[in-house]
Structure 1
Amino acid sequence: MYTAWVNTSERLIESTRELLWERGYVGTSPKAIQQRAGAGQGSMYHHFAGKHELALTAIRRTADDMRARAEEQLSAPGTALERLTAYLLRERDVLKGCPIGRLTQDPDVMADPVLRAPVDETFVWLRGRLADILAEGRDRGELDAALDPAGTASAVVAVLQGGYVLARAADSAELFHTAVTGVLALLSSRTTP
């Protein structure tokens, strides 16, 4: 009985995560969630007060997963540039876009401070984490002493998110990879000899 409870709850959360990524908040109806999860209406409302609570749980889970995946590369051994390169070049489902970044284009998520909070927190964390790595690289002499870690971190995140947009617009992952390799070339040119 307990296992079934956990499985249903997990299926609801995972289904909501997928639907939010594919359709956004408005397009993610309780019925669509239930159908994808293979759960009935009673099961959904047994585990969650409603769509808003389930969406918030799903967004938080997606944000936590995104941070954990990023941290794998960002905390690995190597120079600052090697870790940033590993993060930027890791495998992604580029044409689906960033599951957190796409939520910034969802007016219902952005209008709701509760749903928006984990999205904002994730980007604040990412910019901060990248800035820390860039500062570390600058302080170790791996990157140019004039490098502005905070500004550069924001630029890296903007290129990453913009790369998703370009790729989706052209239906070509190549544009994402071009943007990422472009920012890496800029960072490499800021390394000290």
Structure 2
Amino acid sequence: MYSGCMSTPERLIEATRELLWERGYVGTSPKAILQRSGAGQGSMYHHFTGKSDLALAAIGRTAEEMRATAEGVLGGPGSPYQRIEAYLRRERDVLRGCPVGRLTMDPEVIESDELRAPVDETLDWLRERLAGIVEEGQERGEFAPSLDGEEIAAVIVSTVQGGYVLARASGSAAAFDTGVRGLLSLLSRAR
């Protein structure tokens, strides 16, 4: 499944990332990790202190990837509104859900300060980044000065995460798209 030039620790991290997204922490057994990664028996404990340590590396990698993807759009060309719109409309595997958002519903992750930290930090970063773009739009006269950047950022993140939930529940990406269109309609009226 993985490239022959990928190191064993990398294969273990990638397998764990996929399994966490698919099954959650409890459903991600060491046996499943080893099978998915193609790593030998004992490899996990040779490179990591245990499942939690490996999960932390995987969650950290997923969080970094999410931030990089978001920044690629949010830091791109266009006005603040256009960048927010590009973020909301960017291609996603909506029915699969968000790999970071999914972790917020995993009791084992949420109960662990260590495992929860990269999830919380990533969502905080996203809200702060979006709030800064809203404030930039206000400075340029693109958004009404009465808007609260932090509140709008929270609504944007909530729309995306809630859109995933609605899409998965209905089995259709249409629910996600409807939420995005609704939010963009509200934002365009706040211009």
TM-score band w.r.t. shorter chain: over 0.9
CA–CA distance in structure 1, aligned partners of residues 175 and 128 of structure 2? 26
Structure with more helix by fraction: 1
Matches within 5 A, 1:49-60: 49-60=49-60
Gaps of 5+ in 2: none
Residues 70-97 of structure 1: per-residue CA shift (max 9 Å, x gap): 0001011210010011111111111111
> What's the TM-score once normalised by structure 1's chain length?
0.95
**Aligned match of 1:185:** 185
CA–CA distance in structure 2, aligned partners of residues 6 and 93 of structure 1? 25
**Aligned match of 2:23:** 23
CA–CA distance in structure 2, aligned partners of residues 76 and 188 of structure 1? 19
Deviation at 1:6?
Answer: 5.2
| Structure 1: 4+ residue segments shifted above 4 A | 3-6
CA–CA distance in structure 1, aligned partners of residues 5 and 87 of structure 2? 36
CA–CA distance in structure 2, aligned partners of residues 6 and 68 of structure 1? 21
CA–CA distance in structure 1, aligned partners of residues 15 and 88 of structure 2? 27
1:90 partner amino acid: R
Structure 2 counterpart SS, 1:11: helix
1:93 partner amino acid: D
Name the Cα RMSD after superposition: 1.3
Matches within 5 A, 1:5-154: 7-154=7-154
Structure 1 counterpart SS, 2:7: helix
CA–CA distance in structure 1, aligned partners of residues 116 and 5 of structure 2? 28
1:185 partner amino acid: S
Matches within 5 A, 1:152-167: 152-167=152-167
2:156 partner amino acid: V
Residues 122-164 of structure 1: per-residue CA shift (max 9 Å, x gap): 1100000000000000111011121111111001111110000
Deviation at 1:41?
Answer: 2.2
CA–CA distance in structure 2, aligned partners of residues 4 and 138 of structure 1? 50
2:31 partner amino acid: K
CA–CA distance in structure 1, aligned partners of residues 68 and 34 of structure 2? 28
CA–CA distance in structure 2, aligned partners of residues 8 and 184 of structure 1? 44
**Aligned match of 1:168:** 168
* Percent of pairs with identical residues: 62
1:28 partner amino acid: T
> Kindly tell me: are residues 53 and 176 of structure 1, through their superposed partners in 2, closer, same or farther at Cα, counting changes over 3 Å?
same
Deviation at 1:47?
Answer: 1.1
> What's the TM-score once normalised by structure 2's chain length?
0.96
CA–CA distance in structure 1, aligned partners of residues 60 and 117 of structure 2? 9
